[in-house]
Amino acid sequence: MAAGNCAKPRVAFFDFASCEGCQLTVVDCLQTHLDLLQVVDIVQFREAMSEREEDYLIAFVEGSVTRPSDEARLLAIRRQAAIVVALGACAHIGGVNAVRHGWDFNAVRKTVYGDEGHRYETGEARPISAVIPVDGVVPGCPIDRQEFIRTVRGLLQGRLPRPPEYAVCVECKSRENACLVLQGEVCLGSVTRAGCGAICPTYQTACEGCRGLMPDANLAGLRADLAARDLPTESVEAALQLFLSRELDQQEA
When the beta carbons of 115 and 230 are compared against ligand SF4, the nearer one is 230
Contacting range for ligand SF4; rule: CB under 6 A; set: 43-51, 67-75, 195-203, 223-231: 195-203
CB 96 within 8 A of CB 242: yes
Q: Are 98 and 35 in contact (CB under 8 A)?
A: no
Long-range contacts of 97-103 (CB under 8 A, 24+ apart): 97/17, 97/18, 97/64, 97/66, 97/125, 98/64, 98/125, 98/126, 98/127, 98/243, 98/245, 98/246, 99/241, 99/242, 99/245, 100/125, 101/125, 101/245, 101/246, 101/249, 102/241, 102/245, 102/249
129 forms part of the interface with ligand SF4 (CB under 6 A): no
61, 96, 98, 128: residue in contact with ligand SF4 (rule CB under 6 A): 96
Q: What is the CA radius of gyration of the chain?
A: 19
CA-to-CA distance for 91 and 121, rounded, in angstroms?
Answer: 19
> 159-188: which residues touch ligand SF4 (CB under 6 A)?
168-169, 172-173, 177, 179-181, 187
* Cα dihedral 15, 16, 18, 22 sign: negative
Site for ligand SF4 (CB under 6 A): which residue of 12, 22, 59, 226? 22
Q: How far is the CB of 139 from ligand SF4 (least distance, A)?
A: 8
Is 81 an interacting residue with respect to ligand SF4 (CB under 6 A)?
no
Q: Is 247 in the site for ligand SF4 (CB under 6 A)?
A: no
| Binding letters toward ligand SF4, positions 217-236, x by CB under 6 A | --------------------
Could you say which of 26, 81, 207, 244 contacts ligand SF4 (CB under 6 A)? 207
**Near ligand SF4 by CB under 6 A: residue from 151, 201, 231, 247:** 201
- In sequence order, the β-bridge partners of residue 65 are 126
**Quick one: which segment of 46-54, 82-90, 101-109, 153-161 binds ligand SF4 (CB under 6 A)?**
82-90
Beta-bridged to residue 89, according to DSSP, are none
Establish if 208 lies at the interface with ligand SF4 (CB under 6 A). yes
Contacting residues toward ligand SF4, per CB under 6 A:
18-22, 62, 88-90, 95-96, 140-142, 168-169, 172-173, 177, 179-181, 187, 189-190, 192, 196, 198-201, 207-211
